[in-house]
Each structure stands twice: as structure tokens, then as C-alpha cells.
Amino acid sequence: MTRRICCLFLVVALLMGTASGEKWGEGSRESGLASDWESVLENIPEDSPTVDPVSGGEGSQTGNPADNWEGSQTGDSESNRKGSSAGDAEITPESAPASDREIRWNEGLTQLQSKYSALGLSVAVFQNGEIIYTFCGGQTRLVGGEAITPDTLFQTGSISKMVANIALVKLLWERGISLDAEIGDVLGYEVRNPAYPDSPVTLRQLMTHTASLRDDGVYQGAINGNARPLREMLTQLAHGAFTAEYAPGEQAAYSNFGGGIIGSLIEALSGENADSYIRRAVFAPLGITGGYQAGLLDEDLQIAWIFHMPSHRLGLKPREGSSRRVTCDPDSAYLMTAGKLVISSVDLAKIGMLLCDGGIYQNQRILPEDAVGEMLTLQNDRGSVHCQSDSGLFVLPTTEESLSGAWMGHDGMAYGMLCGAFFEPDSRAGMVLLTNGCEQKVHGSKITREALKLIFSDFPLTEGRVDAFEVE
């Protein structure tokens, strides 16, 4: 009897929705109960047991969080990228049915979202300077969130370094500054590793993680709230900024501190706030919405919160965890460019297109071709790097046995989220995958690598490639 009543109610609701022209899934599902749960979730201590707000209430999630969110998974080609729920998209002359390949990609990414307990997922695939496919699933926050769309902004972690370095390289090329120049020449004071006072610390070393910087000293103190001026950290406190184990240029060791110093170098060269300069000189020509200070972005932009999954612990609200600097101060800019970039998958894909096409985007040159070539060249025993860095200039090679080509890009991981941006320059193809919380590894694998194999094992790199338009 109960089942019959529910079915009757469902039919009536469908008829009413059809008559009014509304679609399922539209409108807000946030209730008083959901708001109360959200308040509880925001204040869960780091060591608290798992909290799962599924005991009742409209819009609560049950079972696997990837199974039944509002705004369920969508996969669309560029011609139909509207972020609507699966099954809701109307077929129009402008939107063709999904191809067999897109259907396989949709199914595969949906399975990966479930496998890795990804709260929200946004994927963009590109080739030949265009977005050819997008996928969106999940929501922007655990309770009361909105459905993920291609325009949802995510904080991307260490991908921030690769993007910010485009701005720094642009400035260096414009001013004719060598990559083997000392960072102290740009900052305006001598910078040395105290254990190796005769070894210069160069820009090339900084960009290849070979500058002998350490993250567990004064930089970690700054991350924990005890921020000191960069000049003090690199001079008076240099013993806490550098390792004594090896000289600059002699060994590679990943450095978040080095990624942060990008911002200080940008401000020293441009005389402008690093976030403002990147948005003006790089993002504006590319038509990118985003930045390194989420708190300064327009309030109507949808920015996903970050959660630890599957425990559902709140990791970060990007707007609240953001600085709001508008002035130029190289001494304090080092806390921004290592991991604070907030951007959508489709806009981050434009960065991949730019690097694939030698500094050109939509027939407009943004970076000199030789600058991009240097960024993508492995800096092994090159210039002031006297070791096998196995790194481009804040661009890392991505090795997958099942994929052909020379893949490059960067991962991002912080506060519970995992992101990736990868591209293969010769084929002018790539993929961006952003999450706002997922299991970091399942059976030793990452969602970013599995998605990359899913897409490009099924999509030969030579298929459909055309040469980029040459711009003088």
C-alpha cells in the first residue's frame, strides 16, 4: 500500500513539473535541518570520529556519496556544456547526442567518482586548442551545496606553481633576465645557503626544485601562522630556510617554499601584487576567471569547499582561508603562489592549451615560443642545475605505461582534495581533473591517473590532430 501511494505521488509530481516547465533537480534543496548539520560539520575537530549526516532530512546523502547527489553526473561535448543533470539535457540543433566514446567516458568517470568517494568532480578534456568534453558530478559542499558545473571553481593545490610560473617566465623574458641569474639579483639582496656560501641560488634552480630550500624550517613556521618577512627568512634565518645536506643545483627535492617565492619574484619584477599581475597579464588574455586569493573574487562565483573523504571532515572553505592583499610586498607574497590558485577545470585547460601550442591561445601570443620550450624541457645538467632534476620549469613529466607520448603537467593535493592537469604537447591534447575531496589512493592508484588512462587509452593521440595557427 505504501509503495502504491509513493508511486501515485511520484506520477503527480512528474505531471506538475512537466506542466510548469520545471526539471527535476532544479531549485534549492537546502532546509533548516541541512543548515543545522552544516553548522555541526564546520566545527568538527580534526581528531573527531567520522560524522555522516545521513540520519534524515531532505537532500541527505545515503550510501556511497557519489551515488545520489543533487546535480548527478553529466558528460557533455563542448557544444552542450550547460551543467544540467544527466537525462535533463534537451536535444537541439546545437546539441547532438553523446557519442559512444563520450558515453564510455561518462560511465568510467562516474565509476571513478564512486570508487574514490569524490565529493565533487569536474573534468575537462581538450585537443587542438578546444575543449572537446566535460564531465561534472557531485556538489560543492557536503550539505546544502550546489551541483558541480564546468564553471565551478576549485582550489588546486600545487598546480598553482605551474600556473604562477607562467607569469614569472613572462616577466623574465620581457626583461631579458637569464634563468641562471641569482634570485637575490631580482629580490634586491644576496641569497645564499649558509652551508655553501660560494654557490649561487638561481632562478633555474628554484623552478626545478634544486635550490636546496627546505619546507620543514622557517617556511613551515610561516604556514603555521608565524610568518616572517622573506628577506629575513633568506638572510638572518637562512639556516632554517636551506638544507645543509647538498649545495644549490646539486640535488632535486620538491619544495613548496620555492613555489611560494614565485610570488615574491613576480612582485619584485612587476611592482604589482602577484595575484593582480597574474590575473591581468595571464588570465585576462586567456579569458580565465580565477585567482590566488579566493576572498577577493566575486561573491556570485561558485567556489567548492574542500572535505576529507570519506570521513566527511571539512578541510577548507577557500574564501575564508584566503588572504586579501592588494598591495605589492615581496616580503609577504611567498604565502600565495605555492597552492592557493582557485580556478575551474575548463579555464585550467586553457593553461594546458597555451603550453601545448607554444605560448599561443586562440591566435594570440601570450608567451614567447622559446620560453614555453624551456619550461617544457627537462632541466637535467642544464645551466646552473648540475644534477638530474627530471623536471621542467615547475612542470613535471607524467609517466603512464599505458599511454603513448610525452605527458607533462602537475598534481595538486591539499586539505583532502586531489587535482591534476596533464597535457601532451605533440598531440595538442590534455585533461584537467579537479575534486573538492576524495580518497587520495585506492589500491595504490590515484583518481587523476586512472582518469587520464580512461580518456586517452580510448582516444589515440594522433586522432584529429591539426597544427596550431602560427602567430608572429
Of 119, 109, 115, the closest CA to residue 86 belongs to 109
8 Å CB contact between 199 and 193: yes
How crowded is residue 312: how many other Cβ atoms within 10 Å of its Cβ?
A: 22
Query: Rounded distance, CA 244 to CA 240, Å?
Result: 10
Divide the 472 residues of the chain into consecutive groups of 10 and give the mean pLDDT of each group. 42 39 33 35 38 31 35 44 35 53 94 97 96 96 94 97 98 98 98 98 98 96 94 97 98 97 98 97 97 95 96 95 91 96 98 96 95 97 97 90 85 95 94 96 88 84 58 48
**Pairing state between β 396-397 and 408-414:** antiparallel
pLDDT for the residue numbered 463? 58
pLDDT for the residue numbered 460? 65
For 418, the grid coordinates are 586531489
Query: Rounded distance, CA 164 to CA 167, Å?
Result: 5
Query: Rounded distance, CA 315 to CA 307, Å?
Result: 5
Of 60, 80, 52, the closest CA to residue 149 belongs to 80
Query: Rounded distance, CA 238 to CA 252, Å?
Result: 19
pLDDT for the residue numbered 210? 98
Query: Rounded distance, CA 373 to CA 222, Å?
Result: 34
Rounded to 10 deg, the angle between the 447-457 and 100-115 helix axes is: 170
pLDDT for the residue numbered 46? 38
pLDDT for the residue numbered 466? 63
pLDDT for the residue numbered 465? 59
How crowded is residue 427: how many other Cβ atoms within 10 Å of its Cβ?
A: 22
pLDDT for the residue numbered 445? 82
pLDDT for the residue numbered 19? 39
The dihedral built from the CA positions of residue 341, 347, 348 and 351, taken in this order, carries a sign that is: negative
pLDDT for the residue numbered 100? 87
Q: Which amino acid is at 156?
A: T
pLDDT for the residue numbered 450? 94
Domains (range + CATH), the chain: 159-457 (3.40.710.10)
